[in-house]
Amino acid sequence: MKSKRHSKILELITNHSIDTQEELLRKLNECGFRVTQATVSRDIKELRLIKTQSPDGGYHYTTGTHTNSVDMSFKFHAIFSESVNSVDYAMNTVVVKCYTGMANAACAALDSIHWRGVVGTLAGDDTIFILMRDEAGAQEFVEQLNRLIEQKR
């Protein structure tokens, strides 16, 4: 449940300008997560969210632009491994099947790591399409992602 909540938090701060813990708490409750302010505070700390300045001068939660690669790798691993059911490819297109509602967060986590050979990603509700430069790259990428998923099981 915690990893799903963390995925939802990352999705919410990516898609909305959230500037207070109370606003984040309200949005989580609207999404069906019954949490307290203390839980939201701990989640913010665990995800290492920071407030950054918006173009309008206000502040909102983000993952930060200066996050180091170890932090991003940890976040990606946690979110991706808990969100994904299966990974496969056809030619140079990788298809990632996720639990319902998790593809957007998993894709955002995937995009936070700069993978060699990835041209672009597209996420729906439960599916991510990843366009690779070539079929060999797609095959190697699928093998890496499947190893990650297997570690979870």
Count CB-CB contacts under 10 A for residue 105. 25
pTM: 0.54
- The pLDDT-based confidence of 70 (bands split at 50, 70, 90) is very low
In tens, the pLDDT along 3-46 reads 889 999 988 988 888 989 999 999 999 999 999 999 999 999 88
Contact 28, 35 (CB under 8 A): yes
- Greatest Cα pair distance in the chain: 47
Contact 30, 124 (CB under 8 A): no
Q: Which CATH class is domain 2-62?
A: mainly alpha
Residues linked to residue 131 through DSSP beta bridges, in sequence order: 93, 120
What are the E-state strand segments in 74-113?
84-90, 93-98
Q: Which CATH class is domain 69-152?
A: alpha beta
In one-letter notation, the amino acid at residue 93 is T
Picking from 85, 67, 100, 79, the residue whose alpha carbon sits closest to that of residue 7 is 79
Question: What integer is the mean pLDDT of 102-124?
Answer: 88
Contact 13, 49 (CB under 8 A): yes
Residues linked to residue 60 through DSSP beta bridges, in sequence order: 52
| Domain spans of the chain, in order of start | 2-62, 69-152
